Amino acid sequence: MISHPADPQHTTGVPAEDHVVPDREGRGPLAERRGLLALAPVLLMVAVTLTDLLTPRWLHVAPVMAAVPVLAAAVLPVPATAALGGAALVLTLLLQTNAGQRGSPDSNVVLCALIVVGLASLVTCALRRRRERQLRQARSVAETAQRALMHPLPRRMRSLALSGVYLPAESEARIGGDFYEAVHTPYGTRILIGDVRSKGLPAVGASATLLGAFRELADREASLTTVARQLDERAQRHIAALDGRPEDGEPEGKGTGALFTERFATALLVEFPPGEAVARIVHCGHPEPLIVRAGRVHAHVPEHPGAPLGLGDLLGAAPVAQTVAFGPGDRLVLYTDGFIEARDRRGRFYDLTAHTHVHAGRPLPAMVAALRRALLRHVGGDLDDDAALVALERLPCETGRG
Q: Give the range with max mean pLDDT: 151-160, 201-210, 221-230.
A: 221-230
Question: What is the pLDDT averaged over residues 120-126?
Answer: 94
Neighbours of 399 (CB within 10 A): 18
Question: What is the pLDDT averaged over residues 116-142?
Answer: 87
Contacts of 368-376 with C-beta under 8 Å, sequence gap 24+, read 368/163, 368/164, 368/165, 369/165, 371/165, 371/339, 372/21, 372/23, 372/26, 372/165, 372/167, 373/25, 373/26, 374/350, 375/26, 375/167, 375/339, 375/342, 375/350, 376/23, 376/26, 376/27, 376/29, 376/167
Main-chain phi, psi angles of 248, to 5 degrees = -60, 135
Give every strand in the sheet of 321-325, ordered side by side: 178-185, 188-196, 265-272, 278-284, 321-325
Domains annotated for the chain, with CATH where assigned, are 31-139 (no CATH), 150-401 (3.60.40.10)
Residue 192: pLDDT band with limits 50, 70, 90: very high
Question: Which among 182, 146, 192, 389 is positioned nearest to 284, based on CA atoms?
Answer: 192
Lowest mean pLDDT of 30-44, 83-97, 208-222, name the range. Answer: 30-44
Instruction: Give the span between the Cα atoms of 191 and 267, in whole angstroms.
Output: 10
Question: What is the pLDDT averaged over residues 338-349?
Answer: 90
pLDDT for the residue 5: 37
Main-chain phi, psi angles of 379, to 5 degrees = -95, 5
Q: pLDDT per residue over 222-271, tens digit each?
A: 999 999 999 998 888 877 776 665 544 444 443 333 333 467 889 999 99
Res. 399: pLDDT tops 80: no
Res. 365: pLDDT tops 90: yes
Q: pLDDT per residue over 269-286, tens digit each?
A: 999 999 899 999 999 999
Res. 171: pLDDT tops 60: no
Neighbours of 361 (CB within 10 A): 10
Question: Which among 220, 342, 324, 243 is positioned nearest to 277, based on CA atoms?
Answer: 324
The rounded percent of the chain whose pLDDT value lies above 90 is 46
